């Protein structure tokens, strides 16, 4: 099924997600290719002998395709896997060009990581899991001792990054998220959640939906993760078993900076994102309803353009940075919260909304569950164009009730 035409450099060496498919996903060359490396290393003695040459040929095509593509180091999860694919195949199959390209990619990833001690895909509950998988593969399978050393350093730091923003009682990473497929790790399967669940080995504490959640296909990674065995450093492991705090976290990443505040029953975070995109979650609020044992949340829609969110003393402020009049949209997942005018009220949280002149509540719409979120309400604010004086803003003042 692998694409084999070297003239088609976009697809060469990758695999189809389905047959037939309309759009080729070049990332599958890394996901499938790295899985084949694990199979080759762990189970080659159990495979039919006549299958091994075919496996090696498939890996060679994938590595050549990765070299053609030359993905940038800022595309963290794919760049990590691409580096391994090229370096490993180059070393095993005597292709010095691929080996050199793989090590250069690994070095670029490491140097980019060292700028801020984190990845550009900062605080991504799914892709942090892929990052840990890829780094563990570097540690196990890279032929270069230098790459293995880089892997150990980044793997440890990434676990520390996760521990710093993890709330053990809510069983969630606090936002903001550069990339996320949901807002509650107890309602969708995230790969960072899988790593934490494997480490905890306790369903009562694991950030893992039971019996079911969205993105259920991610469960297929469990055998790979068990084989690769990545664990947090001992001095931060307690963050995954009990709430440590209250605390504040500031992290620079790419061209932005995240500010995160964690308290026992509420956590908030904000960062400016570089574009409008549904996977971005630039401002987030999570709170814990201890009576119902549920986590509820509010998020600034990542599709809202030209906004800069930041934390304020008692909540979150969002400022319109451009001159357009696109609405500012919030997503609210709290079925018992009453939303009216400048007050959003539930038994656990009161939100007082402060707006600059001219901003007004335009609509509140119920949204059914999507591939990204459980059922939520879309709260839409009409925003005037910037008049040259005060930039339009919305502030959410948060009062957590006992």
Residue 143 has pLDDT above 90, yes or no: yes
Residue 342 DSSP label: T
Residue with tokens 């697809």: 11
> How far is residue 66's CA from residue 30's CA, in Å, rounded to a whole number?
8
Buried b (16+ CB within 10 A) or exposed e, 313-347: eebbbbbbeeeeebbbbbbbbbeebebeeeebbbe
pLDDT of 402 strictly over 90: no
User: Do residues 170 and 266 lie in contact, with contact meaning Cβ atoms separated by under 8 Å?
Assistant: no
Q: How many Cβ atoms sit within 10 Å of the Cβ of residue 180?
A: 26
Mean model confidence pLDDT for the chain: 97
Quick one: what percent of the chain has pLDDT higher than 90? 94
Full-model pTM = 0.97
Overall average pLDDT of the 110-119 stretch? 98
C-beta separation of 57 from 89 below 8 A: no
Supply the pLDDT for residue 370: 66
> How are beta strands 360-367 and 338-340 bridged, if at all?
unpaired
User: How does pLDDT run across 238-254, given as a tens digit for each residue?
Assistant: 999 999 999 999 999 99
Mean pLDDT (whole number) for 331-357: 96
Task: Give me the pLDDT at residue 79, please.
Answer: 99
pLDDT at 394 exceeding the cut of 90: yes
Give the model confidence (pLDDT) of 205-241 as tens digits: 999 998 789 999 999 999 999 999 999 999 999 999 9
pLDDT in tens, 156-197: 999 999 999 999 999 999 999 999 999 999 999 999 999 999
Quick one: pLDDT at residue 292? 87
Distance from C-alpha of 285 to C-alpha of 399, rounded to nearest angstrom: 12
Query: How far is Cα 138 from Cα 88, in angstroms, rounded to an integer?
Result: 9
At 71, list the tokens: 């993905």
Digit-coded pLDDT (tens) for 7-41: 999 999 999 999 999 999 999 999 999 999 999 99
């Amino acid at each position: 099924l692998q694409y084999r035409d070297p003239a088609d450099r976009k697809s060469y060496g990758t695999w189809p997600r389905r047959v037939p498919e309309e759009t080729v996903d070049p990332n599958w060359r890394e996901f499938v290719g790295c899985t084949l490396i694990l199979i080759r290393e762990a189970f080659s003695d159990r495979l039919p002998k006549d299958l091994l040459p075919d496996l090696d040929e498939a890996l060679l095509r994938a590595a050549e395709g990765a070299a053609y593509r030359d993905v940038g180091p800022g595309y963290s999860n794919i760049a990590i896997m691409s580096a391994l694919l090229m370096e490993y195949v180059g070393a095993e199959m005597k292709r010095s060009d691929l080996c050199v390209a793989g090590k250069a990619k690994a070095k670029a990833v490491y140097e980019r990581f060292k700028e801020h001690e984190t990845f550009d895909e900062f605080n991504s509950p799914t892709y942090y899991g892929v990052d840990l998988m890829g780094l563990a593969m570097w540690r196990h399978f890279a032929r270069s001792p230098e790459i293995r050393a880089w892997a150990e350093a980044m793997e440890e730091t990434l676990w520390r990054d996760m521990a710093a923003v993890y709330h053990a009682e809510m069983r969630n990473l606090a936002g903001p998220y550069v990339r996320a497929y949901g807002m509650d790790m107890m309602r969708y399967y995230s790969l960072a959640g899988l790593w934490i669940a494997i480490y905890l080995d306790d369903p009562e504490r694991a950030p893992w939906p039971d019996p079911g959640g969205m993105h259920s296909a991610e469960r297929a990674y469990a055998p790979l993760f068990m084989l690769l065995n990545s664990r947090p450093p001992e001095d931060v492991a307690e963050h995954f078993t009990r709430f440590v705090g209250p605390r504040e976290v500031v992290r620079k990443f790419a061209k932005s900076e995240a500010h995160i505040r964690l308290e026992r029953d509420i956590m908030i975070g904000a960062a400016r994102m570089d574009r409008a995109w549904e996977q971005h979650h630039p401002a987030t609020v999570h709170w814990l309803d201890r009576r119902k044992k549920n986590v509820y949340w509010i998020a600034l829609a990542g599709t809202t353009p030209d906004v800069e969110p930041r934390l304020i003393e008692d909540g979150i402020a969002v400022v319109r940075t451009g001159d357009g009049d696109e609405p500012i949209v919030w997503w609210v997942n709290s079925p018992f919260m009453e939303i009216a005018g400048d007050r959003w009220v539930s038994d656990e949280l009161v939100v007082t909304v402060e707006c600059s002149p001219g901003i007004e509540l335009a609509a509140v719409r119920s949204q059914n569950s999507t591939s990204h979120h459980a059922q939520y309400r879309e709260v839409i604010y009409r925003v005037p164009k910037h008049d040259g004086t005060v930039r339009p803003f919305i502030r959410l003042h948060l009062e957590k009730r006992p």
